[in-house]
Copies of this chain bind each other. A is one copy, B any other.
Amino acid sequence: MSQTVDSFSFAKRIPATPSIGSTTVTKQDHVHLSFGFAAPHLFPIEQLSQSAAEAVTLHGRKALQYSGSVGPGQILKWIQARSQVHGIHVELDQILVTYGSTQGIDLATRILVEPGDHVWVESPSFFSALQAFRTAEAEITSFPIDEEGVRVDLIEHALLNAKQNGKPLPKFLYTMPTYHNPGGVTLSVERRKRLVQLAEIYNFFILEDDAYSELNFTGNRYPPLYTLFPERVIYLNTFSKIIAPGLRLGWIFADSNVIAKIKLLNLGGSIGVFTQEIVAKLLDGFAFQEHVDSLIDHYRQQRDVMANAVKNSFGEHVTFHLPEGGFYIWLRFADEVNTSDFLEDAANRGVSFVDGKSFYVNPEGFQYARLCFSYVSEDQIVRGVQSFADAYFAYINKAVS
């Protein structure tokens, strides 16, 4: 048959390229400072292996049917109880389990926006979220962050301006208030309070991505936006950073009416109940706080090793905010630097990072780079940061000469 795929007009929502570029891995001992992955040696492997076998044996036939056995209910209750530690009090009908935060972002976007609707984001922001908003054919506007998180004053100004000039208001603002990816910053309490007031006044939702909340290196507590305005915040979290990403399990908190709407849209019915049975079995009797404490100790140490390595290898050539939690250090170079220009050379030298522009809606952020300290060893951090610095200095020396 002669017909080719090219003659068909596909939906406009398909993005032209993946949300993030990748470089070719050329060396055996390549250091992946680009991967925002949890440390695999901290996955509770033995417990999961045992839980997997037990879940099937104990609840097997029901666990493998569409709606599962006891697991999905137990997970809801575990999430409910654990969230109280973070000051979040939710009823069971305010929780929905998802295939990781990514599905949470996608579902929330699909219930809130039509093509052409406006979504506001932080700049920088999480590239997979930006991709989700693009595929929803949303108009995206971004607002800068500083040391205290997103510039709520600029958001307020823009809202007022839009209102006064009859311009479209956002359907929602997507924010990572705590341990921002990639910025590493945390939204101040004062800004949190003002932000939810704005959501009320200007009638928009806040999509709060709290994926790193358990990885708190300092003990400082910030109220989740959801606790300040549960009617208008859709809160996202995930087991990816605290158990393991390969499970693809996350959750949403929202007003029960919003959860009901998402359920109507979520055609697959319940989320992989088999995995839920296994995770429920794991969590039952698992010393979770102890586990999280060991994650925190490990990642805090990794952060410190990376911060020192950056100081040693780059000196005054970069600045960064020391993150209070999470996985990332976000380096700022001089304004004339374009980190995309030495991505390839860094790869040739055996290290990967994510260039600044990948985190922006508009062509900007070229002078930034994201390094991730979670996935690699201390030794790799030191070696990787040095290779990265070698690529940078070769780049600026070439620019000068």
On A, residues with C-beta under 8 Å from B are 1-8, 10-15, 17-19, 37-38, 40-41, 43, 45, 48-50, 52-53, 55-57, 60-66, 68, 99-100, 102-103, 105-106, 110-115, 117, 128, 131-132, 135, 200, 203-205, 229, 231-232, 240, 244-248, 255, 257-258, 261, 264-265, 267-269, 271-275, 277-278
Contacts and interface: CB of A to CB of B under 8 A. Distances in A.
A112 B275 contact: no
A178 to B, nearest CB: 22
A255 B5 contact: yes
A125 to B, nearest CB: 14
Among A7, A38, A245, residue most surrounded by chain B Cβ atoms (within 10 Å): A245
Given A45-B56, A268-B102, A203 B37 contact: no
Given A5-B255, A38-B65, A100-B268, 7 more contacts: A8-B205, A14-B111, A37-B66, A49-B52, A64-B246, A244-B274, A248-B273
A102 B48 contact: no
Nearest to A40: B61
Nearest to A69: B246
Contacts of A112: 10-11
Contacts of A271: 248
A49 B1 CA distance: 46
A61 B53 CA distance: 17
Contact of A63 (B56, B99, B113, B246): B246
A274 B247 contact: yes
A232 B277 CA distance: 39
Nearest to A264: B15
A129 to B, nearest CB: 9
Contacts of A265: 13-15, 135
A246 B273 contact: yes
Contact of A113 (B7, B11, B52): B11
Determine how many copies of this chain the complex contains.
Answer: 2
Nearest to A56: B49
Nearest to A276: B246
Nearest to A104: B268
A60 B52 CA distance: 12
Contact of A49 (B53, B99, B106): B53
Contacts of A19: 267
In the A-B complex, the 5 residue pairs with the closest CB atoms: A52-B52, A64-B244, A40-B61, A49-B56, A53-B53
B60 A45 contact: yes
Given A7-B203, A11-B111, A273-B246, A40 B65 contact: yes
Given A5-B257, A269-B102, A273-B246, A61 B45 contact: yes
Nearest to A55: B52
A40 B64 contact: yes
Nearest to A48: B56
Contacts of A229: 1
15 contacts: A1-B200, A3-B200, A5-B231, A8-B204, A11-B111, A12-B114, A15-B264, A41-B61, A43-B64, A45-B56, A45-B57, A102-B269, A106-B268, A115-B115, A128-B267
Contacts of A258: 5
